[in-house]
Every structure is written in C-alpha cells, then in structure tokens.
Structure 1
C-alpha cells in the first residue's frame, strides 16, 4: 500500500499516549456515566459501538471445520511458508516514474511473478478464468453456481516498494531472500502486499483442493503498480471489471488496509471504511532574471521561501466531526477498551451530545500528532527546485505541497485554502496571481508599478482525488460490514481456540490516511473495505513495512489465510443480493 496509507490505524492505536498529562475536566461537577463492560452484549456502553457476534459459516460449516483443521497442521504450515517465501523471492518493485507498459522494460519482471503464481497455484490456474489487463493486471473469476448473485471481489497488488540500494547491507537477510527463520518470512513485500495476495490465493487453492464449489462468484483482482499510484494497473482493472460485471456489480470489495492490535487491554480491528483524498499543489514563482551582482530585494527563491513558511505556519484547522470514521473509532475504544482512563472515556462519551465535551476531548486527542493528522487535511512540502547558477538570478522557483484531504473536506476546499492563504503575499511582492487556471490578481496595484513576477498554483502530477465515499457500517445497508466484522471475529477466535466472543476482538470502523487501489473501484460497489487482518506489534505496525527487514510472522500469515477462507464462505451463504 502507499506509504502514507499503510495501516493508518497506527494513529488511533497510539492516540491516547499523552492523555495523562493533558487531561482536564470540562464539567463541574463531573457527569458520571455508567461504566459496564460486557463487550458485545447489551448495555449503555455496548450500544455506543454495537458488535456483531462471530460469524461461523452455517451451510458451509463442514468445509470451514475441515480447512480449519488443515491449517493447523505442520504440513500446511510448510506449504504456506513456501508460498509466501517464493513470492517474496521474485522482485516486483515499482517506481514513481515508469513509462507505459510495453515501452519501459522495468515492467517485464512481472512475467516472472506470473510464472511463479502458475507454478505455486495450479488449481487456481486450471479452474478459474484468468483475464490479463494491460499485460500485467490479473483478474481471476471463480464462477459461482448462481450467476444472479453479485460477486465478492478480493483485491491485492503484486508490486512492492523499491529497496534503497544503500540499505541492502543493513538487512538481516537479503531483501528478496524469502528467508524463513522458524517464525518470520523475511523480505520486501512479505507484509505489503504479498501476504494479502498470496493469502487470498492460498485460501482459494485450499478450497479448490477440498472440492468446494461456490454459490456466489468470487473475483480476484491484482494490480501491479499500487505503490506508484495504480494508474497502469488498478485503473485499467477497474474499467475491465466494470465492463465484465457492470456498475455496482459487486456485493462487496475487500482490499489491503488496516489490521488489528491491542490498545488498553482490548484487541481492536479497524477496517477502513473510507480514505482521505489527496492533491499535490505546485507553487511556482517566476521573476525577471539578471546578474547576481545586482539583485532585487527578493529573488524568486526568496519569495518562494516566504510562501512556504506561510503555508507551514498555517496548517488546516482540525475538527473531529461526529459522523467521521475517526470519531466512530474513538467511541468504540471508549465503549470497549477496559483500561482506557475513565476521565477520558467520559469526555469521549459525553462529546456525543456536548460540543464543549467534544472540544475538550479534541484538546486531549490532538496532542497525538498521528491521530491529529488522521483527522485533518494535512500539508507536506515534499519537492523544491530553483536556480541554475550561482551568478544568475533564478527566473523560476517551485515547490510541491502534498495534501491528504480530510473525509469532511474536498479538493476544491483544499485548493481554496491555499489560494486565500497566499493572496496577501502575492500582493506584498506585487505578483500577478493565477491559481488552478483562473486569474486571482493581475498585480500592478502597488503605486502603479509593474508586477515583479508571477505566482502560479496548479495541480501537480495526476490531479486531485476526492475523499472516498464512506462505506455503510450501520443501519439497513450495513450487511456487508456486519459480515466482514463477524468473519474477522470468527477467524481471530478459531485461530486461538477462543470459545464465544467475550475474550475475542472488537471491530471498529476505521480510515485509511492514504489511498489503496480501491480509489479506482468506487463505481463497482458502495461496500468497499480496506482490511488486511495483519497483526500489529505492540500497537504499532507489522515489522518494518516499507523499510529494512520487512517480515511476516508465519503464524499471522496462516491466520490471514483463515480469514479469507472464512470471509469467502460467509459471503457465499449470505443474503446479500
């Protein structure tokens, strides 16, 4: 997944770290809220974040039990190690600047990965229909007995982030070795996202080996450039999937995303029900050139520097909207995390009906920068360039500001913020001002002097992306979310031999801070979930995603296979259309 989006729940898992030193009462005297922990039962707190019970397949119970027993064996564990390690051993790096497929030879490495998949998963390639899109995108169709039912779409991506050459000698095991040390499979992509892709295929291969025939069609769609935006992969896959199944043609989609981890003695899973939007704003200043021995008061670089300081000094205002996924997440924590400090719990719960309580809760929650960034529209100055020679005045200087847009905002609102923010400085430096194709100010208004140059704002790279629609998670249209939640619980409990729900896992709506391949899939269904069933370590990320020594616990990988198996079987026998 994109680096900014990987397991965005980290911002939630750590959001209360500064609670003790920053909390204060908003009410005097305090309102006492009943604190009862029945975790999924009835009662005031449980009603704040209602939980479905674990969903064990009914008509598919026999194969679920049989496969569950198979997954417990050492023989299957060895096979799972081989599947994941073999996938890691095939380098599939993608880069930000790749030419079209067929023109850039760096795409050709995916031929080797496809050959590996054919060898590792012979039943899938023998019994499912395979369509290749733009050469390297893969669509596998496992036809169901009832073609009137909308299919389940399971998505993943084949590519991985590049390995920085200067860090290769820092890896405990070579980055594409797929080394297994008895606990972890090591290597680039072992977590992101070959564990998802290979986990999906492992589950389907195992079901095929047991003679399972689905009632509902299952589709697997694997992009090949998610780490560089998905333009060549998921975008073309989406068009083909829409051609094959139509708009709103799928019952639900599950792609990579957040996982689960422990917080205040409660295991919380946070499937992403939305994603932030994004836009890259190019800020460009042009001024007359000349010799450096006769400089003006401000060169284009100096002006740009002041503009960038202005941007960083004025971040977007942050507000926790009650209908936002992050707010739903903290409500779930308040309702189900037994060791959350009581005072903070009361503030969060009271914030549902008190604006004053909400402001106080925000003052505590936003002391954690990761959570604050998860909520608000962010800004990061990532690229800057200007000047060509030390004795020549720079005629042009520019920078790119990356914005990740809050689910309550929009591309237009984000661009409008930047326009208004920089307007006074355009006037101060007497610059003509153009923003996103429209004239903001002609300049020439300071003592009737000519403009000193131009300020231009524009969308860099591929343009802006609006925040994703929020997947229904409550009410009459929430059955897919409930099926996913029940499947998460059933897989989690079965993997640990937990009876019932009381000691298991809580499922909460979550959000992705970045974007997965699902940004191209909005037309296919309103029920899109970004969830990978990856176990976090001490409430943070799995081992070293996107950096040195990425690794996947084989126990976690087996649980991922169990999760996809459970999900497929549950969706298959569900009442979804």
Structure 2
C-alpha cells in the first residue's frame, strides 16, 4: 500500500473518530429531570389588578436629571396613589422617603438573624414624543383598559412589574403571611436617568442600615420565544449579570478656516476615521461566562445542528462565534459594543470645524472594566483623538445559579407562568438600578415575569406600550410564590 493511501486512510479514521466524539457528546447532552409542578391557587382579581395599574399609568412620573429638575407633583401623587391602593403595606411596613421621591419599605420578619430580601422597582417612566401621539392605538397617558391590555407609557417599563410586586405583597398581608426574614421594597424614582438621585441613595441607605441581602430582585429579562436559539418553546431569560455603560466623548481637532481651502485631513475627517474603526473593528468576540451559562442551559433543548455545535465547542467554537456575531443580538452577548449616538462639528456649511466630537455609547461585558475598555479604544483610534468619559461604571458581578433562590425562581415560573418554560440565565444588555446594589448583596436576579412582554418588547420606550392583563395576573402570582418560597 502506497504512502498516499496510508495518509488517506489515516485522515478517514480521524474523521470517523471526530464524528463519533461529536455524536457521543451530543447524545450525552440531555435536559435535566425537572420536578413536577404543583400549582398553588392564589385568588387575585384580574379586574382589580388592571384598574390599579391603569391608575398608575395615568400619573406622568418623568424624572429630571436631578431632584431639582424633577417635578414634585407627579411623584407626590404617586406616593398618595400607592398609599390608597395598598393600605396594608402602609399600615404594616415601615416606610421611609429617600432623597425626596424614592421609597423604602421594610416588612419585619420573625428571625432577624436571617438575611433579608430586597424587591426593587422604579416609579419613573420615559417621556412620550409629541410627534408619535397619532401613532398610539390608545392615548399613552390614558391607562386605557381594552382588548385584554392596560395601555400606556410605563405599562411594561416598569409600572406593570412594580404593581405586580406590590399586589403580591398586599395579597400576602391579607392572607396573614408572616415572613421569616425581613423584606425590603426599594422603589426608585429616576431609574431612567441612571438612578443617580434615587436608586443610588436607596442603596446607600440600605448600607447605612447594615443590610446584607440574600438576594435582590429587579426588572430584566422576559419570557421570549426560543426560536432564535434553535429551541422549540419559550424561555424565561433571567438576568444573572448585566452590561455596564460608558458614554465616551471622542474629539478631533484641526485648524479652522474657510472650507474652500481644507487641510489634508479635517477634524471631521479624523473623527470619522476614529468612529469607523470603533464600528468596523470594535471589540473581540468570545463566549463569556454568562453567555456560556446560557448556552449550556439551552443546548439540551436545541435542534440538532445548534446542539451539535454547542456540545462540541472545542471543535465548532470559531464557526459558532462567527454565526452568532453576525446577528445584532448575538454579537451584543459576545462582546463589548460601541454605538455612536451623537455628533457635533461646525455650525456652518462653509466653515471648517476646529473641533469635531462624537459621543459613543459603550456596553461592557462582565470581565471588562472602564480602564481596559478605554485602553482598547485608545489602541484603535490613536493618540490624536481626545477621550472624555461623560459617564461610566464597571459591570456588576455575576450572580450564582447554585442557590435556593434560583430554584425558587425556576419553580415560580413553571408553576405560575408556564410549566413548559425553560428558565435560563441571561446577560442583560441594558443597565438597571440593581447595579448600584453591589455592596448590599452577592446575588441579583433580573426578570419581568410577564408572557406578553416578549411579544411587546419593541413598545418599551416606544409607541403602543401595553401590558396584557392575563400576563399581569401571572406576574403577580409569580411574586407571591417567590416571596413564599424565599422568605417564608
């Protein structure tokens, strides 16, 4: 037998061995055994929940960038509305107003030695652009109840979440439930302004009180279709981590003058080159820890091609990253992103700008820092471009899935939202106030327990925001169950 045949047979043998390894690893990747769901009935009234949320949507709680810029009337009206709507919370729990408009409630548990839990929410919403008013099916501040939905700004983000949580606590108080551990309700008033005048002060107040929580629960992922992950059915994406934000200003300078005699490179040209490098080259992609946990959780449920790749990343990782990186959502999971959002240069068409600037919104994956990100940007854009951090924070730590709380979240989802739903870890792309609670807990979970949110994600901060009433009821039951399981 010639040398060529020997090499051919060896290659064939190697391919067969690789195929066997791939198929064996794929076959071993099976869904875990789940405990059967034992649903508990909670007598909550859909009509009442819808009416309560409707009233909240009608209060235009739009926060300014400071306490002084924030109109007092809407937030004081919201405080009064909460007191009227949830009388038992106000009669039973200690209430404190923090930094003018944020609220902190404490429900004392029987055992002060046990770590408390913190349920977060925010009362503020983003504005509605006047130019979009005619595009709304129902007026954005009406809180209209129609077609099985509560309509209006904040119905999802996040008065729906906030009220489902408060309804759950009020329900438990009516039932005579007494928690073993303390429960805190931390209601911020300026999350949409990065929480620097509300959430920040709530977190600091909890630190002053010596609170170190078992967990913090905040808004975050949602129940979504599994199709984009090659999964039949629905996924409850629970955020165990979130990206952080840097608003970075890039400035290029050049000699000004008349546009009829431009230099070889203008400030605008230099700035455009820098921005182009950030967009085209950007940051390297990899399967970070949170994305890895997501893929590990979902791969047993995936269709064969996806499952084969993820069960054999030792072989298919480069191809998988290339495919995922070709989609905006996939790419956002795998690397730090850079999105130019604001530009400024000359004030006239025939005048050369002496300075041209751009603001770039960067979203950092866990593991990166402000320092490491700036170092990479500097390497890309060169020394001539000035960099100024307008706002920046490091990503919070990754929360554990190996906790009784995670099991309680899983069970509460399957018992109250849908037995078929796969509960999966998730990397939040947006920032939440929970990032400010790093000193208060090791474990933060970010999730909106509402089926309709997955269908209406595009309406958040946009036109037609609405919350399904059935979804609101299921979310309320989820919170009742979660509190019973983790604080009872």
For the aligned residues, what is the CA RMSD? 2.3
Task: Give the structure 2 partner of residue 459 of structure 1.
Answer: 389
Question: In the alignment, does 2:53 pair up with 1:84?
Answer: yes
Question: Do residues 552 (structure 1) and 467 (structure 2) align?
Answer: yes
Aligned to 2:270: 303
What aligned pairs does 1:333-412 form with structure 2 within 5 A after superposition?
Answer: 333-335=298-300, 337=301, 340-351=302-313, 354=314, 356-412=315-371
206-215 vs 220-229, which moves further:
206-215
1:165 to 127, 130, 143: 130
Contact 2:25 2:311 in 1 (8 A): no
Unaligned runs of at least 5 residues, structure 1: 1-24, 37-42, 57-63, 427-432, 434-454, 494-502
Instruction: Indicate yes or no: 2:104 matched with 1:179.
Output: no
**Matching residue within 401, 406, 411 for 1:486:** 411
Q: 1:318 to 1:105 in 2, by over 3 A?
A: closer
2:224 to 229, 239, 261: 261
Which secondary structure state, in structure 1, belongs to the residue aligned with residue 449 of structure 2?
strand
The CA deviation at 1:404 is: 0.6
Judging changes above 3 Å, is the alpha-carbon distance between structure 1 residues 365 and 33 closer, same or farther for their aligned structure 2 residues? farther
Cα drift, residue 214 of structure 1: 1.7
- Residues 1:152 and 2:117 aligned together: yes
- Contact conserved, 1:281 with 1:459, CA < 8 A, in 2? yes
Residue correspondences, number: 469
Residue of structure 2 in register with 1:331 after alignment: 296
- Partner Cα distance (1:245, 1:546) in 2: 36
Following the alignment from structure 1 to structure 2, what is the Cα–Cα distance between the partners of residues 158 and 165?
22
2:94–2:107 Cα contact (<8 Å) kept: yes
The Cα offsets for residues 494-551 of structure 1, whole Å up to 9 and x where unpaired, read as: xxxxxxxxx53221111101111111001111011011112257x6544622111111
Separation of aligned partners in 2, 1:265 and 1:301: 49
Which is helix-richer, 1 or 2? 2
Is the 8 Å Cα contact of residues 292 and 392 (structure 1) preserved in structure 2? yes
Tell me which of 277, 280, 296 is aligned to 2:244. Answer: 277
The equivalent residue for 1:446 is: none
Query: Structure 1 residue 361: deviation in Å?
Result: 2.4
- The structure 2 residue matched to 1:417, chosen from 376, 386, 391, is 376
TM-score by length of 1: 0.77
Q: Distance in 1 between matches of 2:133 and 2:165?
A: 29
Gap change, CA 1:92 and 1:217, over 3 Å in 2: same
1:144 and 1:361, CA in 2 relative to 1: closer, same or farther beyond 3 A?
A: same
**Aligned-partner Cα distance in 1 for 2:17–2:55:** 56
Distance 1:69 1:222 in 2: 25
1:467 is displaced (CA, Å) by 1.6
Distance 2:17 2:472 in 1: 45
Q: SS state of the match for residue 274, structure 1?
A: strand
Q: Is the 8 A contact 1:278 1:466 kept in 2?
A: yes
Structure 1 match to 2:254 = 287
- What's 2:487 paired with? 572
Q: Is the 8 A contact 1:257 1:272 kept in 2?
A: yes
User: 1:403 is paired with a residue of what secondary structure?
Assistant: strand
Pairing partner for 1:45 from 7, 26, 30: 30
1:183-216 CA-to-partner distances (Å, cap 9, x unmatched) read 1111111111001111111011111122222221
Equivalent position to 1:471, from 396, 399, 409: 399
Q: Relative contact order (alpha carbons < 8 A, sep ≥ 6): 1 or 2 greater?
A: 1
Question: How far 1:299 sits from its partner (Å)?
Answer: 2.4
| Distance in 1 of aligned mates of 2:182 and 2:268 | 58
Q: Over residues 383-412 of structure 1, what are the superposed CA-to-partner deviations in whole Å (9 max), with x where a residue is unaligned? A: 110113344432211111111112232222
Change (3 A) 1:241 1:415: same
Q: Is the 8 A contact 1:282 1:398 kept in 2?
A: yes
SS state at 2:160 partner: helix
Distance change in 2, residues 1:416/1:52 (3 Å): farther
Superposed displacement of residue 78, structure 1: 1.4
| Structure 1 residue runs of 4 or more that deviate by more than 6 Å after TM superposition | none
Among residues 121, 124, 134, which one is paired with 2:89 in the alignment? 124
CA distance in 2, matches of 1:458, 1:26: 54
Q: Look up the SS of the partner of 1:308 in the other structure.
A: helix
Provide the residue aligned with 2:12 in structure 1.
none
TM-score normalized by the length of structure 2? 0.90
Deviation of 1:484 after TM superposition, in Å, equals 2.1
